[in-house]
Amino acid sequence: MHIILAIISIIAVWTRKDYVKWETYYPTMLFIATGNLTYNFLCASHWLWRLSPDVTWFNHSLLEISYTFIVFPGTALMFLARYPKGQGMWRITRHYLFWIGLYVGVEAILAASGSILYDYGWSLWWSALFDTIMFPVLVLHHKKPLVALLLGFLVAILLLWYFDIPVNIPIEKR
């Protein structure tokens, strides 16, 4: 399923021709990738969710690389490239609901199939709440990157605190 999602993301970006706008949204594509890398670094010993490989050779590290550098940036690109600017609140709300629903729906399928595992109190509902925050922050990052970085930092601190994630960054002694 994970490999299929990466392939679908590539095909969707290509067929929708959103790739032509990649330079415009590249900073925000890096923002979402950096967020996923940060989660993997900070939660390496205390996973709230963890992807389970569909095939043995496509291990957890390869899964995370595919999501970090293909799926998340690709979906951020598609989300932002088709964001309805100046087309009324209903169109904007529908756009958010579509992408939040897509992320939650795909994750529900992954959870039902055992392809994503939750721990330490995280659940699909927490993911849905996170997605509800994430998509507006992507738009904010595109418009005001520094504000989005600060907000992302605050959300990360809040989640680290709420889920009691031990952040033990080893300092090498010489």
| pLDDT tens-digit map of 119-159 | 999 999 999 999 999 999 999 999 999 999 999 999 999 99
Q: Which domain holds residue 139?
A: 2-162
Q: 73: buried, middle or exposed (CB in 10 Å: 19+, 13-18, 0-12)?
A: buried
The pTM assigned to this predicted structure is 0.91
Q: Which residue, among 132, 125, 120, 92, has the nearest Cα to 107 in the 3D structure?
A: 125
For range 28-41, the mean pLDDT: 95
In a domain, 174, yes or no: no
Round to whole Å and give the CA distance between 41 and 23: 27
For range 46-73, the mean pLDDT: 90
Cβ 51 vs Cβ 63: under 8 Å: yes
CB neighbour list of residue 133: distance below 8 Å, 6 or more residues apart: 155
When divided into structural domains, the chain yields a total of 1
In a domain, 169, yes or no: no
- Reply yes or no on whether the pLDDT at 87 is more than 90: no
Measure CA 82 to chain center.
Answer: 18
The mean pLDDT of the chain is: 93
Cβ 122 vs Cβ 160: under 8 Å: no
